[in-house]
Amino acid sequence: MKNLTYISILLFIFSCGTEAQKTVTDYAESITETELKTHLYTYASDEFMGREAGTQGETLAINFLKDYYKYTGVSGGSTDGSYFQEMTVTDRSGNSIDSYNVLAYIEGSDKANEVLVITSHLDHIGVEDDGQINNGADDDGSGTVAMMEIAEAFIEAKEDGNGPRRSVLFLHVSAEEKGLLGSKYYTDNPIYPLANTVANLNIDMIGRVDSLHIEQPDYIYLIGSDILSEDLHEVSERANQDYVGLTIDYRYNDPTTLVYEFGRWRENRYYYRSDHYHFIKNNIPAIFYFNGTHKDYHAPTDTVEKINYALLEKRTRLIFHTAWEIVNREERLTLKEDSEIPSDD
């Protein structure tokens, strides 16, 4: 008995020792293409019926996310520890829709009242009149599963005693496809004060390669990183240089850069076109992670077998490393003094 106690004490010390030595790289490596693929093959399957806000497909999606976070040990981030933020929103045709954002939350240690919000949209555009399902594997299944893996990496770190200093909110917004309604609802009705929200990392389509990068597919577009905060841009650049090494394409940082979409050339305006917009509007610095559009954009052909999972893994790790630095650095990200809140008028 005595020997056994001795051995278990030794084992305990040993296990503490190995855990203390784990680094951010170890946690990043828990984000794997295999797991991303497994999640996505469920999330973007026909069963979820295109995940349109206000439909049964959305109900399946939000319950899938809730069950995942419960199983993974990540708490609910809405009121009273719930995973859901219920909302009634109005679509472009004036219809009222009952919809839900999903929130998971990892509380920080010594700077817990400061919050990093990571977003992706859980909804997509549903089923076509002829019955074809829009699975939205890239849009935005890719961002959704990236967030699931980032949350898992953070909770593993926390369980080892290496939890984040600031808190992280994993905010899966709905009704994005109906006009960024879930992110607008959250920023109009924030669960955590916007004044304490240090940044937003928004992930919307990161699993594909666009026609401009077929020869060199190890890229990602970053939009907005230096617009409100130089700190944010530097953190992001360093995370990429030190750990990931993707080619970062900043061409769409200029909203007037032309893009060929819907059969014609037009200004990209991506800075205003996904959920980060509602954070930027509230003077919260944000980065939009994006692979560009492709011919399957908003079509029933945006399917799981077309995703580049090795690349999705790399891009997800970049976002994780950036998030890790934002929540663990000593100083809160500072805003530019002359930063102007953008207007989409």
Residues that bind Zn ion (CB under 5 A): 139-140, 204
Pick 220 or 239: Cβ nearer Zn ion: 220
C-beta closer to Zn ion: residue 140 or 325: 140
Task: Give burial (CB, 10 Å; 0-12/13-18/19+) of 234.
Answer: middle
Is the CB of residue 249 less than 8 Å from the CB of residue 315?
no
Q: How far is the CB of 273 from Zn ion (least distance, A)?
A: 9
* 277 burial type by CB count under 10 A (0-12 exposed, 13-18 middle, 19+ buried): buried
Q: Count CB atoms within 10 A of the CB of residue 238.
A: 13
**DSSP E strand boundaries for 40-148:** 75-76, 84-90, 96-106, 111-121
- By residue count, the chain amounts to 345
Cα distance between residue 23 and residue 250, in whole Å: 29
Radius of gyration of the chain (CA): 20
Nearer residue to Zn ion within complex by CB, 160 or 300: 300
Smallest distance from Zn ion to CB 124, Å: 8
- 3-state SS, residue 11: helix
Distance in Å, CB of 140 to Zn ion, minimum: 4
Least distance to Zn ion, CB of residue 208, Å: 12
Residue closer to Zn ion, measured from CB, 139 or 325: 139
Q: Cβ closer to Zn ion: 155 or 180?
A: 180
Minimum distance from residue 298 beta carbon to Zn ion (Å) = 9
